[in-house]
């Protein structure tokens, strides 16, 4: 049974996302209950009358667990379990359970375990018969060490061990990122609300085999794949973990790889599921999370391009007041327009030039042999005369290797092309 509090502005659909989360976790929802109140009850979250109503409904339906759409305090969980005689789960526990099911890489598993321990530490139940393990008799009297303290020390030691291992993993990830940054390919991070279609888009852009499922948090591990852009360009596309509203702060470390991928990306493509009724709230939630958890003060922020996904599921004529490229990743609609928009942002200063390149250095530059970018090629006594599309950095490399630019034949820098439908 799902339970939530409406503070007066939630309206219908308050528990829709919680129901989707329970479905992802493999839990069957039998009923939902929403109580309108200004603030949660400090003892039982919902009012005493609602607790009795929940108990009656659970008895009638045979529900063996009650899931709340907020994070509960330890005392609230304990009081509710005593009153209902059933397992009580809050939103954070549910998300952690999904993370534990979905984690595949070593880092993801470590991050999930760390998040679980940080969640459990302040919620340890040490009262009652297991509270103390003091000794008896002469020489053994004293405060001893309570079971609560033993459990807390065990968890604390495990947390410290996990933090050390994750620091090592972070250093390895940093090394891989530096190697990628030293390459010639720009990095494009795909971000968005969970189940917005990021993995489907990655597969479409790169012919990758990223896991796709119509459930929340289908992807929990960051994936990097090379993909083509117009004019023979290429980029590294990075699939990231989906965001979710009201993400508890202590779950943020589980998104460490995702947050770093966004921070160091050359471009962020924000995938928005415009078929969802809550698309605008989802869109804002992602941007707020990035601003709160990723970027700091004077950090240089990469440009953001919105990809308005799932237009195939929108009612005909439905419009969304949001600039971006309207696509359907599943049906391959306007994907080429999206790639062109990405190339416009990553390579805004490309221009067509004619260069005379010595034969000795011609083989060093793949761009001078790329049929997508070479407009004409003539062999002369002095070298190869090539009319080609180059970025300022590529042109500088050619000139540093002895290439000469024909000023009269070079075209001026063009304004970025518009391919947005």
Q: What is the pLDDT of residues 212-239, one digit of tens each?
A: 555 566 555 677 888 999 887 889 998 8
What's the CATH code of the domain at 275? 3.40.50.300
In angstroms, the CA 35 to CA 7 distance is 9
DSSP letter string over 168-215? HHHHHHHHHHHHHHTSS--EEEEEEBTTSSHHHHHHHHH-------SS
Domain boundary among 58, 76, 98: 98
Each residue's pLDDT tens digit, 107-158: 778 888 888 888 888 877 643 343 444 444 444 444 555 777 888 889 899 9
The per-residue pLDDT of the chain, averaged, comes to 80
Looking at the structure, tell me whether residues 292 and 243 fall in a common domain: yes
Looking at the structure, tell me whether residues 326 and 283 fall in a common domain: yes
pTM value? 0.73
In this structure, what token pair is assigned to residue 213?
């499922």
Average pLDDT over residues 383-392: 85
140 in a structural domain: no
Beta-bridged to residue 387, according to DSSP, are 354, 376
| Strand pairing report for 223-228 and 187-192 | unpaired
Distance of CA 324 to the CA centre of its chain: 19
252 in a structural domain: yes
- pLDDT reported for residue 180: 57
In angstroms, the CA 296 to CA 13 distance is 34
Look at residue 106 and tell me whether its pLDDT is greater than 90: no
In angstroms, the CA 315 to CA 312 distance is 8
Give counts: helices (H), strands (E), the chain: 12, 14
57 versus 223: the higher-pLDDT residue is: 57
Looking at the structure, tell me whether residues 208 and 119 fall in a common domain: no
Distance of CA 251 to the CA centre of its chain: 12
Looking at the structure, tell me whether residues 321 and 332 fall in a common domain: yes
What's the CATH code of the domain at 68? 3.40.50.11060
Token pair 């998300």: residue: 95
Each residue's pLDDT tens digit, 168-193: 887 776 776 666 555 568 889 999 99
Average pLDDT over residues 68-79: 90
- For residues 72 and 84, the answer to whether their CB atoms sit within 8 Å is no
Looking at the structure, tell me whether residues 206 and 340 fall in a common domain: yes
Looking at the structure, tell me whether residues 153 and 260 fall in a common domain: no
DSSP 162: H
Per the structure, the complete domain to which residue 84 belongs is given by 2-98
Domain count, the chain: 4
């Amino acid at each position: 049974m799902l339970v939530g509090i409406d503070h007066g502005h939630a309206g219908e659909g308050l528990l829709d996302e919680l129901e989707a989360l329970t479905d992802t976790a493999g839990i069957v929802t039998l009923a939902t209950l929403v109580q309108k109140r200004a603030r949660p009850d400090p003892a039982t979250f919902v009012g005493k009358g609602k607790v009795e109503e929940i108990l009656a409904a659970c008895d009638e339906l045979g529900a063996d667990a009650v899931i709340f759409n907020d994070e509960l305090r330890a005392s609230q969980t304990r009081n509710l379990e005593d009153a209902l005689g059933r397992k009580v789960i809050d939103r954070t526990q549910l998300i952690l359970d999904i993370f534990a099911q979905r984690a595949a890489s070593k880092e993801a598993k470590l991050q999930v375990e760390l998040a679980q321990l940080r969640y459990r530490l302040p919620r340890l139940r040490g009262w009652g018969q297991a509270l103390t393990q003091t000794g008896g008799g002469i020489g053994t009297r004293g405060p001893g060490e309570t079971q609560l303290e033993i459990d807390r020390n065990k968890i604390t030691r495990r947390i410290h061990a996990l933090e050390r291992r994750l620091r090592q993993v972070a250093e390895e990830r940093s090394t891989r990122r530096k190697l990628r940054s030293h390459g010639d390919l720009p990095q494009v991070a795909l971000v968005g609300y969970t189940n917005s279609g990021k993995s489907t888009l990655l597969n479409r852009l790169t012919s990758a085999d990223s896991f796709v499922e119509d459930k929340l948090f289908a992807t929990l591990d960051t994936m990097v794949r090379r993909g083509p852009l117009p004019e023979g360009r290429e980029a590294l596309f990075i699939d990231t973990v989906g965001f979710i509203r009201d993400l508890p702060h202590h779950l943020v470390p589980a998104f460490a790889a995702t947050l770093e991928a966004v921070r160091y990306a050359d471009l962020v493509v924000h995938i928005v599921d415009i078929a969802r009724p809550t698309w605008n709230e989802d869109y804002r939630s992602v941007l707020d999370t990035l601003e709160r958890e990723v970027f700091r003060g004077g950090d240089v922020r990469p440009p953001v391009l919105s990809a308005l996904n799932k237009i195939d599921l929108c009612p005909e004529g439905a419009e969304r007041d949001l600039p971006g490229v309207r696509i359907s990743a599943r049906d391959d609609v306007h994907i080429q327009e999206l790639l062109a928009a990405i190339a416009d942002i990553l390579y805004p200063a490309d221009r067509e030039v004619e260069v005379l390149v010595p034969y000795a250095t011609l083989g060093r530059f793949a761009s001078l042999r790329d049929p997508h970018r070479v407009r004409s090629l003539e062999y002369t006594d002095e070298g190869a005369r090539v009319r080609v599309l180059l970025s300022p950095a590529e042109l500088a490399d050619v000139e540093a290797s002895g290439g000469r630019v024909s000023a009269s034949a070079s075209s001026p820098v063009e304004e970025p092309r518009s391919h947005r439908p």
